[in-house]
Amino acid sequence: MYKDKPFELSNSSGHISLDFINTANFHGHVNHQEWLQSELDVIEWANFIGLSVESNTRSTLSLTELIQLREAMYRITFHAVNQTIADKEDMRVLNKWIKKAQEQVEILLRQDGVFSKQLTMSDGLTKVAFTVVLSFSELIMSDLFQKVKQCNSDRCEWFFIDHTKNKSKQWCTMKICGNREKAKRFYQSSRKEKGRI
C-alpha cells in the first residue's frame, strides 16, 4: 500500500486501538506489509500518536508478542465488521491481555477534583500493549463499534470509524485510497465509453 511507514495516515482511523491495528496491511497474506519492524518503530509510532513512551530494554514483552496481540485484535474486528463469529483463541488472547492491563490501572484524583486513569509500572512495549488493549476493550463494548468499517479499496485493509450522518464513508482516507479508487473508477468508466464509440 505505502512504501514508507504511514504513521501520519494510520492516525486517521478515529480510535487509538484501530490506529494500532492499522500499523500493518494485508494481515496474514503473502503481500503482508508490516511497519512495526522493531521496538524502535513501536516507540516511534506511540510517540507520534501522543502516547509518551520511552524504550525499556528490561521489558519482558517482545515485539513478537505485541504483534500477536495486534493480529488477534485485527481478526476480532474483521469478524465483527463482517458480522461473523470471532475465533475463540483470539478472544482468549484478548481477555488475557485485558486482565494483565487492568491489574496495572490506577484511578487518581487530581487537585482540580477530576478523576483520571493511568497505568502503573509499565513502559516501552508493555505500555503500548496495555494502552491499546484497554482502549480496544472499551471500543468493542460501546455503540461506537457499530460504526467501524474496513476500507473499500482492494489495496487496503485498514479500519476506521464512520462518523458521517448517512454512514457513507467508504475509504480509510480520501488522501490516498479515496482518490486512487475514484481515479480507477473514472479510468474504467472512460474505457467503457470509448468502447461504445
Tell me the whole-structure pTM to 2 decimals.
0.83
CB 124 within 8 A of CB 43: yes
What is the DSSP code string of 2-23? -SS--HHHHTTSSSHHHHHHTT
For residue 87, the 8-state DSSP code is P
Q: What is the pLDDT of residue 178?
A: 54
Q: What is the pLDDT of residue 68?
A: 97
The reply to whether 13 falls in a domain is yes
The reply to whether 155 falls in a domain is yes
The reply to whether 58 falls in a domain is yes
pLDDT by 10s per residue, the chain, length 197 = 444 445 555 566 789 999 999 999 888 788 888 999 999 899 989 988 888 887 665 667 899 999 999 999 999 999 999 999 999 999 999 999 999 999 999 999 989 999 988 888 777 899 999 999 999 999 999 999 999 999 988 888 899 999 988 887 887 876 668 555 555 554 444 455 555 55
The reply to whether 80 falls in a domain is yes
Q: How far apart are CA 55 and CA 136, in angstroms?
A: 23
The reply to whether 191 falls in a domain is yes
Nearest CA to 122 out of 54, 189, 63, 68 is that of 54
The reply to whether 121 falls in a domain is yes
Q: What is the pLDDT of residue 176?
A: 66
Residue 46: give its domain's CATH number. 1.10.3300.10
The reply to whether 2 falls in a domain is no
The reply to whether 1 falls in a domain is no
Instruction: Dig out the grid coordinates for 51 from the structure.
Output: 502516547
- What distances in angstroms separate CA 155 from CA 20, 55, 70, 71, 159, one per listed residue? 18, 33, 20, 18, 13
Domain that holds residue 184: 7-196
Q: What is the pLDDT of residue 117?
A: 86
Domains held by the chain: number: 1
Q: How far apart are CA 120 and CA 118, in angstroms?
A: 7
- What distances in angstroms separate CA 46 from CA 55, 63, 95, 122, 145, one per listed residue? 11, 14, 22, 14, 22
